[in-house]
């Protein structure tokens, strides 16, 4: 007999497992901004779900719900990731979620900058 709690547990989203170590290492360069690291991992997760690197919509409210990243920290984290060359963002309109493009080639390996 299958218990309802077991079914709910299995259907919850899980972390996308194919996150390259160099992506994580690059995100960890931002030692003073742990929210940028959290956001980098979340962006990679969304990239895996959508199976695309472009036009990813990243919601600050979702980042807050999942990781506890407030709106101001969210904006700073995006700026830091752009500064590291990990992502680009579209021009944000007030009240709209930014559109992200991941800058990462599948061929980038351990020597990625």
pLDDT single digits (tens) 27-68 = 888 878 899 999 998 999 899 888 899 999 999 999 999 889
Structural domain span for residue 31: 19-102
Q: Which residue has the higher pLDDT, 94 or 14?
A: 94
Averaged pLDDT for residues 2-31: 68
Give me the CATH number covering residue 62: 1.10.10
| pLDDT of the residue at 7 | 47
Task: Copy the structure tokens of residue 113.
Answer: 């900058």
Asked, for residue 68, whether it belongs to a domain, the answer is yes
Averaged pLDDT for residues 5-15: 52
Instruction: Write down the pTM of the prediction.
Output: 0.76
Number of domains observed in the structure of the chain: 1
Task: Copy the structure tokens of residue 84.
Answer: 């590291």
């Amino acid at each position: 007999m299958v218990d309802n709690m077991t079914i709910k547990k299995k259907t919850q989203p899980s972390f996308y497992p194919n996150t390259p170590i160099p992506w994580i290492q690059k995100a960890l360069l931002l030692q003073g901004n742990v929210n940028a690291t959290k956001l980098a991992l979340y962006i990679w997760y969304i990239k895996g779900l959508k199976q695309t690197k472009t036009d990813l919509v990243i919601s600050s409210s979702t980042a807050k719900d999942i990781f506890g990243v407030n709106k101001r920290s969210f904006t700073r984290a995006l700026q830091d990731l752009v500064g590291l060359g990990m992502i680009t963002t579209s021009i944000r309109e007030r009240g709209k979620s930014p559109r992200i493009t991941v800058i990462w080639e599948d061929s980038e390996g351990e020597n990625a900058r």
